[in-house]
Structure 1
Amino acid sequence: MSADNSIIFYDIASGPPLRTFAANPWKTRFALNFKGVPYKTEWYNMPDITALRERLGVPANRTLPDGTPYHTLPVYQDNTKGILLGDSFEIALRLDEAYPGPPSLFRPSTIGLTAAFNAHVDGLFTKFASGLCVNMPLNPDALEASIAIFVKRAGLKSADEMGLSSEEHEKTLVSFEAALGELAKAYRHTGGTTDYFWRSGGTHKAQSQRPPTGREGAQPFLDGDSPAYSDFIVGAWLKMFEESTKPEDWQRIKSWQGGLWGKVVEALGPWTEIK
């Protein structure tokens, strides 16, 4: 079945070539491609997102530090099923409901656990995104207005406050490696109560402790030989960092924890098509 205008995925426009770069739209694109649902992408510059959501009647789904609501993407409009949603997690839930049968995004009785995992992973990556995602491929036609949006979201006075010094940048990378080391435990099925900890010391051998015997290896999917929505949550953030960090930073990130994060991105490759 070919894509038509009956199912529309609204994504944030990048510079040419048009492609997904933000984490939450990536979650939805992964989900749509995995389910095999035909759809068409419509691209909107960041300054135009509020008007789009208001025109569609989709309420804001985020808030600024001062409590002011703001609008972002994705939005999913399915005219065949009468679905109009503006939150990536809710979109994934409705995709499984509206298009049941394999493959399923959520395995039986895991929705609550996946929601908690989603919140945890979002918090982890968001902590480091503002300092490291300095190469977002924003559309040059709307660059100045887009940067102004990021400044406002961060509660800053100007874009000059957004950068990190070289020392701060390195400290951020070291802390990020430690945080991803903790997340890697989920891929090794060791949990958080084992007797090792990924300390903030970078890749130096004195600071890199080994997992318990028999749990050294980590698979690219959290459970089993195929992905579920939890895998797409992590993959979405990794894809954002792949697209939006300095190339040398991404090379470091994907090599951490034995190259686990590069393996995750590679394993999710079959569901990254830009339609």
Structure 2
Amino acid sequence: MATGASPTVRRRRLASELRRLRVERGMSMQEVADHIEITAASLSRLETGRRGIRPRDLRHFLDLYEVGTHEREALLALSRESQLRGWWQTYGTMLNSEYTTLIGLEAEALTVRNYEQTLVPGLLQTEEYARAVIEAFRPGDSRDEVDRRVAVKLERQKRLSGEMPLELSVVIGEGVTRQFVGTAEIMAEQLRRLAVRRPNVMVQVLPYGAGAHPALTGSFAIVGFPARSAIDVVYLENMLSALYLEDTEDVRQYGSVFDYLRAAALSPSDSADVLIEAAERFT
């Protein structure tokens, strides 16, 4: 799957541009909200990308900010593209908003840097491993619901192939190789799959012997984009929801932690050997 025009990314870019234009005009959020006749809270949702904006409504902002013709047309085009539906939106309310946001970000990302303590990253899970994880996390789901969630995960993985594949760098804790998920056969197949080398995928194992490190608090992913106007995002997931960090300093700190983990982890070659050995323990 080639990199596409993700409505999620378009909405975030447009939100960033709206913030920039307001700040450059020296206007407060309340001043703009009063001019446009919306609440400051609604404006905040627009400027953070939590809510989309239709072209006809965007024109009011562009008039207020006195945006020139060329920039106006570019921003209106962004607005139109942000209204498009991504493939993930066909699943409706089955997927929560945090997960659909992640999928939308991945759809146009250039890189993903992912640290996982206990589970194989979703982008690298085999079908049966993914099914076992979903069944454990959502014991009340029907077979059809589980099948649909597995299908979403496999569709996400298409970003790792095609003309412009996602560059994925993964560090997994040694615990991932020992955490029993599903059956011994499922574990062996999953670990062998992780050991397969691909040009755009790097997998490293962080051994227990590496000692304490800054990411002991939990797993995280950093989604990176090629365009300057698209801000990199840190994704933090918990049992019930997820959190996105977009502040430049937050992203920088997580990037530094990931660099530390990569340096402390085994090399890709040694990691592949460890994964093969771990797979053999399950056979």
**TM-score normalised according to structure 1 size:** 0.30
**More helix per residue:** 2
Name the larger-Rg structure. Answer: 2
**TM-score normalised according to structure 2 size:** 0.30
